[in-house]
Structure 1
Amino acid sequence: MSEGEGTLVDKSESSSFEDLAAAAAHEIEEAKLAEAAASKDKSEETKTDEWQDVLGSGALLKKIIKLGDESKGLRPHRSDICRISYEVKIKDTDHIVEKRDQVKIYLGDNEILQGLDLAVTLMYKGEECLLQMAPRFGFGENGLKPGESLGLVGELDAPKYEGPVIGPDTWLDARVELHDWDEEPDHETVSIAERMEIGVRRRARGNWWYGRGEAQLAVQLYRRALDALDESEGGITDPTPTGDLAPTSDALQALLDERLRVHNNMAAAQLKAGAYEAALQAVTRVLSCQPKNAKALYRKSRILSAMGRNSEALEAARAAAAAAPEDSGTRKELQRCEQRATRDRSVERRLAKRMLGNPAQPKNGGEPDKKPSRAKMLMWGSLLLSLLVGVASVLVYRYKIQAH
């Protein structure tokens, strides 16, 4: 943080930093109730012939083109594993942005575009619908440019977008089909390999959101990744007093490494979102297991600087530069911290002089006079002239006495 910036606000406890999908849950539930009440007296033909304003704001419209199984009134809930097919186009064009068939998603994790994610919660098994999505439920203010990653869920190296530019005002059309769903299993019952797969895919999607400047959505994915990568009884343990971890199997060690990678990424996203305390906690977890992790040390320095803890930031920056001396980022961070420390020392010296005073300086704070002032010269001149006049008078008086 440079001098002159305003007071920093730590958003670690901010309600706006909570799971964003949860923030829309109330609206979705209201939409479900409204839809249920409106569909009581409608025929099947009517149901498939009208656009529904899902959130009541006109930003997400849904139209059923194939009815699903409504006999049991069951719909998927957040965290359920849904199998869907979808196609996304630029509104009123034939330009396909994304197309996936029989893809598995964790509902509510924003593994797909937010408009699709919200719409699936309103669908029945076997239902197919059309959507019209405002930009905020698609690619947001950043839009999407040719050559940028699509960030498709389940793919670490997602394909690049090849269509026309999607701007911040671009609406999208979509076609979605919900095939079926299952409840998310307890992670303790899932194999290490499956937990690793889940954690990696969520981290990859979180990275995609982070790269688009959506730090809060990234944090949501990182948190969900940690749910899958969390340690299990008899598995990963805390570091020993020496800082080393107790021996584990290769699979558990890989799981631990992935957890630390997620914590590191989450610290960066929390820093970007202004949640400094939470970011510091995340990076501290990494350093408790890997004290010389250069990336974690670098981020710790950035976090502490943002919190105004400059001396601690300098210490972390020095450790980061020692751990990765060839890395330009750590070197630049160390230079910034050293320059900030120099400025801080200069400010402290000036404040100390003001508070304690400087005996070498006059009390009035000005510089000592190098030459007599004009007033002083006139005063001394007058005194000297008076003295000379007095001496001359005495001499004249004595001369007259002697003459007589």
Structure 2
Amino acid sequence: MSELLLPPEQRYAKIIEQSKNEDGSEYSVLNLGPTHPATHGIFQNILLMDGERILEAEPTIGYIHRAFEKIAENRPFYQINVLTDRMNYCSSPINNMAWWMTVEKLLDIEVPKRAQYLRVIVMELARITDHLICNSILGVDTGAYTGFLYVFQFREKVYEIYEEICGARLTTNMGRIGGFEREWSPKAFELLNTFLTDFPVAWKEFENLFERNRIFIDRTANVGPITPEKAMSYGFTGPNLRATGVDYDVRVAQPYSSYEDFDFIVPVGKSGDTYDRFCVRNAEVWESLSIIRQALDKMPEGPIHADVPDYYLPPKEDVYTNMESLIYHFKIVMGEVPVPVAEVYHAVEGGNGELGFYLVTDGSRTPYRLHFRRPCFIYYQAYPEMIKGAMLSDAIVILSSLNVIAGELDA
């Protein structure tokens, strides 16, 4: 029987047993989490310590497991979006768009070019906020609070753009099957252009605060390194994999939502350590800004959602005045529109890596089976190995640089 399948108390008992030495002395057993603020979420690690050096680590997850996959199997397809954006809530619009694209792949819906470009803008804004939070909090974990305070205001600027688009800020429930629920307002584009003007200046100053800072480099360089081979064996994707030198990016490997129309590079690191993970995310922010500018410059005219009345709720004013719209509204809400019996998988480049949805349908109004491929759940499995031999303070910055989001870890 695998040790991972043992109950937590039995796994902890093994660590406690290891703490006793033959000469009568004992190593320390430290409970890190689940409520310690430095753990970045509700998860726990039992550490076997020799002084401040970590000898063994045993993680426990599931403290905020919400059974999203089983809940989703009892919901109509268009009501699952409110579950997906509560996974990685630092970049929830990417989750939203990934789910809609999965359903559109199932239904063979071609999304208008304008809607695809608008989705790209939203997803890249979400990537910026995700990396902004990760890297600024990594600064806090090394004792540098200033950078966090300086750039965090720009996350709020992005949330104002979200709010103008859909009315929500953190958990956005953005978009619909086939595109967006409404055209973006002039104010949304105005807020976006202001952000593109102001944010790069602040981000450059943020980089200057850290990338050549001796204290920060000493705390992060050669801390928590992982080899490309080991990272791929664990299933790493996203910035954590690219920091090892592997240039895998879903946007390039399997383009979606017209990403093939944009020119951008895939930043990679060399050593796969905490400093490389920091630098890769910094560089990706610049690429995201470039993609957003390209999308605005190339923005096509046309509709913002596909002509799919069987799946796209009609405007409320039409429901009140038009019998055909009322019928479509009733059929969609009551789940009377059939879906094909199929098996599909669709993945996007999330803030933390490859975010995928494996969907199995039986023709009913709800998924027969639905699995979320959550990048945090994949790479957190490597965390105990990455911190062995490290200092306790190193364990915090390694966790921070991995950007483990508890909502995505547990789902």
TM-score, length basis structure 2: 0.21
Question: More relative contact order in 1 or in 2 (CA 8 Å, sep 6+)?
Answer: 2
TM-score, length basis structure 1: 0.21
State the structure with more CA Rg: 1
